[in-house]
């Protein structure tokens, strides 16, 4: 089964992407202002030639970061100051959300995404088809339709999902994008900085569109508004595919289809394999290393079995944890033929399930498997380790909410005391979590900080 399980009822937005009954990706957004795809008229605050970058005020808590290469025409200039200067007003789009103390990463190359099409700023009005569409007949049909429709002064990309859409659905998508693009261009002419002039796709809509081309059997929601948005915005999604779980009735969507288990797995160092072996995942600044360990006294066929189990699980963990850059895997020693099979297996898994660019380089002279994966966002470890720096207890909050949901569904207790470590308690007080819990679960939750508890520890006491 292929499915997406959403947990979006709170400020934190989470999605578990499932292929062939296994969770391959966890998508997490902290919500709030400044989502990926939002377009702003911003004011340039500071231009730094030594960094080839500028800081732009778009009206959020922190200024956005804009590199020279992300400005239209930037590749032809030696310095960013030749393109923009302090005080300039410029249209920018959020490419990467703010993380920790860093502001959002911006681009000046604007685009508006639809279900099957993308409009983007291009003076040559080029039309392109996603390279994941490899059927010649589909490419011919989509190009003919695109050249028939496209009359706007911008470029257009035909997305992979468009291959599964009818001509009429693509025409409807084009008309919707046409209206959005005209509105963006109109506001660019008169809006004054800082101001948002376009809101990107909702978290749930974006995830469904980005994974629809693989074919989805089920989509699980805990937010009725998100389900309504997906049904209204995504062609091919019908009511029969959607399942709504009301959190007020004690449902926690991440307890379904092993989504919660995958979230816990994504921060563990050791992952056990079906045959008794395990893999140890170590993430450093320079690279990620994965060590394959066999079951006790493994010889002969057991080595081959362990390596293949390790290859499948290592590939899944790389996607699940959003690991990127250089990745080295130390498989158990085998011959050249076995190594070639492992390389082919890894390439097949990433080609089938991953949505990032990747390169499999094969085995080094030292016998290590080497590959690289495109960097987008931060890894799950780096995302969750902020709890240790007292910034935001994301992982702990997921476990607290899971336990509160369980208590609501399995008991009649509605007066609770939540004991937490100092950092989590301070964050809960700051965000007014007592009121949130009362509204979400109907429980009176009193928060108590315990300086003896380590980061991530908590206890719920019935009152």
| Angle at alpha carbon of residue 287, lines to 298 and 373, rounded to 5° | 90
String of DSSP letters for 282-350: EE-SSEEEEEEEPPTT--THHHHHHHHHHHHHHHHHHHHTT--EEEEEEPPP--HHHHHHHHHHHHHHH
Predicted pLDDT of residue 250: 60
Predicted pLDDT of residue 294: 85
What predicted TM-score, i.e. pTM, was given to this entire model? 0.72
- Ramachandran region, residue 362 (left: φ > 0; alpha: ψ -120 to 50; beta: rest): left
CB proximity list for 341: less than 8 A, separation 6 or greater:
308
Q: Please tell me the distance from the alpha carbon of residue 141 to that of residue 118, in angstroms, as a whole number.
A: 17
Q: For residue 107, is pLDDT > 80?
A: yes
- What would the pLDDT profile of 74-87 be if each residue is shown by its tens digit? 777 888 998 999 99
pLDDT interval class at 412 (50, 70, 90): confident
Q: Which of 49-63, 160-174, 224-238, 302-316 has the lowest average pLDDT?
A: 224-238
Tokens of 183: 């509105």
* Count of Cβ atoms closer than 10 Å to residue 131 Cβ: 7
According to CATH, what is the number of the domain 39-107? 2.40.50.140
Predicted pLDDT of residue 45: 94
Q: Where are the domains of the chain?
A: 3-30+202-261, 39-107, 111-198, 266-373, 388-462
Level-2 CATH architecture, domain 388-462: 3-Layer(aba) Sandwich (3.40)
Level-2 CATH architecture, domain 266-373: 3-Layer(aba) Sandwich (3.40)
Predicted pLDDT of residue 63: 92
- What would the pLDDT profile of 326-379 be if each residue is shown by its tens digit? 999 999 988 899 999 999 999 999 988 988 889 999 999 999 999 999 887 777
* Count of Cβ atoms closer than 10 Å to residue 176 Cβ: 15
What is the residue whose two structure tokens read 């693509």?
Answer: 170
- What would the pLDDT profile of 190-216 be if each residue is shown by its tens digit? 888 899 999 888 888 888 888 876 778
Q: Pick 62 or 402 by higher pLDDT.
A: 62
Q: For residue 402, is pLDDT > 80?
A: no
Predicted pLDDT of residue 388: 46
Share of the chain above pLDDT 70, in %: 92
Which of these, 159, 96, 182, lies nearest to 383 by C-alpha position? 96
The order of strands in the sheet holding 111-113 is 111-113, 117-120, 155-158, 127-129
Q: Over the chain, what is the mean pLDDT?
A: 85
- What would the pLDDT profile of 445-463 be if each residue is shown by its tens digit? 889 888 888 777 888 888 7
- What would the pLDDT profile of 429-447 be if each residue is shown by its tens digit? 877 888 878 877 778 888 9
**Cβ atoms of residues 356 and 419 within 8 Å:** no
Q: Please tell me the distance from the alpha carbon of residue 379 to that of residue 102, in angstroms, as a whole number.
A: 16
Q: Please tell me the distance from the alpha carbon of residue 293 to that of residue 41, in angstroms, as a whole number.
A: 53
Residue 421 is classified by DSSP as: -
Q: For residue 170, is pLDDT > 60?
A: yes
Q: Please tell me the distance from the alpha carbon of residue 131 to that of residue 142, in angstroms, as a whole number.
A: 13
Predicted pLDDT of residue 422: 85
Burial class for 410, CB neighbours closer than 10 Å (0-12, 13-18, 19+): exposed
- What would the pLDDT profile of 234-289 be if each residue is shown by its tens digit? 877 878 889 888 776 666 787 777 887 888 888 888 999 988 899 999 988 889 99
**Cβ atoms of residues 303 and 294 within 8 Å:** yes
Q: For residue 9, is pLDDT > 80?
A: no
Q: Pick 118 or 421 by higher pLDDT.
A: 118
Q: Please tell me the distance from the alpha carbon of residue 275 to that of residue 297, in angstroms, as a whole number.
A: 12
Tokens of 460: 């719920």
Q: For residue 389, is pLDDT > 50?
A: no
| Angle at alpha carbon of residue 315, lines to 309 and 319, rounded to 5° | 145
**Cβ atoms of residues 83 and 73 within 8 Å:** yes
Predicted pLDDT of residue 390: 41
Q: Please tell me the distance from the alpha carbon of residue 335 to that of residue 312, in angstroms, as a whole number.
A: 19
Predicted pLDDT of residue 387: 42
Residues found in the chain:
463
Residue 102 is classified by DSSP as: B
Q: Please tell me the distance from the alpha carbon of residue 291 to that of residue 270, in angstroms, as a whole number.
A: 10
């Amino acid at each position: 089964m292929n499915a997406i399980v959403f947990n979006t009822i709170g400020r934190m937005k989470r999605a578990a992407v499932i292929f062939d009954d296994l969770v391959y990706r966890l998508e997490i957004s902290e919500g709030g202002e400044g989502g990926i795809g939002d377009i702003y008229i911003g004011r340039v605050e500071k231009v730094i030639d030594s960094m080839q970058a500028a800081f732009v005020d778009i009206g959020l808590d922190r200024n956005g970061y804009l590199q020279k290469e992300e400005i239209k025409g930037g590749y032809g200039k030696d310095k960013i100051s030749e393109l923009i200067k302090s005080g300039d007003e410029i249209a920018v789009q959020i490419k990467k959300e703010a993380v920790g103390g860093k502001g959002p990463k911006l681009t000046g190359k604007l685009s508006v995404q639809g279900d099957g099409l993308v409009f983007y700023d291009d003076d040559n009005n080029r039309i392109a088809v996603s390279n994941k569409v490899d059927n010649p007949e589909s490419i011919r049909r989509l190009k003919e339709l695109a050249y028939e429709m496209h009359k706007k002064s911008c470029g257009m990309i035909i997305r992979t999902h468009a291959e599964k859409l009818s001509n009429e659905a693509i025409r409807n998508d084009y008309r919707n994008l046409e209206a959005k693009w005209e509105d963006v261009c109109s506001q660019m002419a008169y809006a004054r900085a800082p101001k948002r002039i376009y809101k990107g796709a909702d978290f749930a809509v974006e995830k469904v569109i980005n994974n629809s081309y693989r074919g989805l059997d089920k989509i699980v929601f805990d937010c009725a508004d998100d389900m309504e948005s997906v049904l209204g915005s995504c062609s091919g999604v019908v009511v029969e595919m959607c399942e709504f779980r009301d959190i007020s009735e004690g449902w926690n969507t991440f307890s379904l289809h092993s989504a919660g288990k995958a979230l816990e797995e994504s921060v563990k160092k050791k992952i056990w394999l079906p045959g008794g072996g395990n893999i140890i995942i170590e993430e450093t600044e320079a690279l990620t290393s994965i060590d394959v360990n066999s079951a006790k006294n493994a010889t002969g066929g057991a080595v081959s079995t362990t390596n293949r189990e390790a290859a499948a699980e290592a590939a899944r963990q790389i996607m699940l944890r959003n690991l990127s850059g250089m990745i080295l895997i130390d498989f158990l020693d085998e011959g050249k033929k076995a190594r070639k099979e492992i390389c082919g297996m890894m390439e097949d898994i990433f080609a089938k399930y991953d949505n990032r660019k990747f390169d499999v380089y094969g085995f080094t002279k030292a016998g290590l498997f080497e590959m690289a994966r495109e960097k987008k966002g931060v890894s799950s470890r780096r995302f969750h380790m902020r709890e240790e720096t007292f910034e935001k207890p994301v992982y702990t909050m997921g476990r607290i909410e899971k336990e509160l949901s369980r208590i609501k569904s399995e008991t009649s207790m509605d007066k609770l005391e939540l004991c937490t470590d100092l950092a989590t308690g301070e964050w809960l007080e700051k965000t007014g979590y007592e009121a949130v819990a009362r509204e979400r679960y109907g429980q009176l939750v009193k928060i108590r900080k315990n300086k003896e508890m380590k980061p991530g520890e908590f206890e719920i006491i019935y009152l």
